[in-house]
Amino acid sequence: MKNSSTLHSIPISLLRQYIFCPRIPYFSEILGYRMQEPIWTEQGQSFHSELEKLIIRRIPEKFGFNNPSMEKRVNVVSEQLGLNGIVDFIFYNDTYVVPIEFKISGKKPTRGQELQLLAYGYALEEMKGLQFERGYFVMGSSKKPIAVFPNDFKRDEIINIRSSILQTYETMLMPESPASIHKCTQCEYLNLCNDRNF
């Protein structure tokens, strides 16, 4: 078990998980039921490397970046937001930093995925002292880049969700869940929830 004093910085991926269902951080962080991170299959690895080539070739030039610096699997930390994580890919020049996330399936990002990417961007902005004006998802078979843009409302959402997660750490009580049957039936924690009646 953990208490909030040891959790000044929490994983950015918990924001997405909390949005999917507020109980997931409770199960994973308080009770310690951590599901295995998916191991990239051969198909997943080749998808990533295809996307990296695509990004290197197309995105920086398309958005006016000449010879930007690029890095993959970048560790990020935001002292201001109390968040940390690993973003798939970034490119940056002297002025701007752009985070990119790859998704092997889907046509558009969920709200949770969007806030996760924005949190990476805020952390990068703070770490590198550069401007974060947009990030991208490259998703599914179309591999079409989808832009997301930060704003004060979304930053506040991130701050509020982090506070709610920390509150769960404080109380150590299982939160109520608004999750739909559809969500519960695809959830790896279903066997831990004894109040799902369907």
* DSSP structural state of residue 162: H
CB 28 to ligand SF4: min, Å: 10
14-33 positions binding ligand SF4, by CB under 6 A: 21, 23-24
Our CB check for ligand SF4 shows the closer of 7 and 193 to be 193
Tokens of 173: 């009580």
| Residue 12 is a binding residue for ligand SF4 (CB under 6 A) | no
196 contacts ligand SF4 (rule: CB under 6 A): yes
Could you tell me the smallest distance in angstroms from the CB atom of residue 191 to ligand SF4?
A: 8
Nearer to ligand SF4, 24 or 118 (CB): 24
Q: How many helices (H) and strands (E) does the chain have?
A: 6, 6
From CA 9, how far away is CA 11, in angstroms rounded? Answer: 7
Question: 21 or 100, CB closer to ligand SF4?
Answer: 21
For residues 145 and 102, give the distance between their C-alpha atoms in angstroms, rounded to a whole number.
9
Give DSSP secondary structure letters for 71-128.
EEEEEEEETTTTEEEEEEEEEE-SSBEEEEEEESS-SS--HHHHHHHHHHHHHHHHHH
In angstroms, what is the minimal distance from the CB of 25 to ligand SF4?
10
**Looking up tokens 């930093």, which residue turns up?**
97
Number of residues that bind ligand SF4 (CB under 6 A): 12
Q: Is 25 helix (H, G, I), strand (E, B) or coil?
A: helix
x/- map, 166-195, ligand SF4, by CB under 6 A: -----------x-x---xx--x-xx--x--
Residues engaged in binding ligand SF4 (CB under 6 A):
21, 23-24, 177, 179, 183-184, 187, 189-190, 193, 196
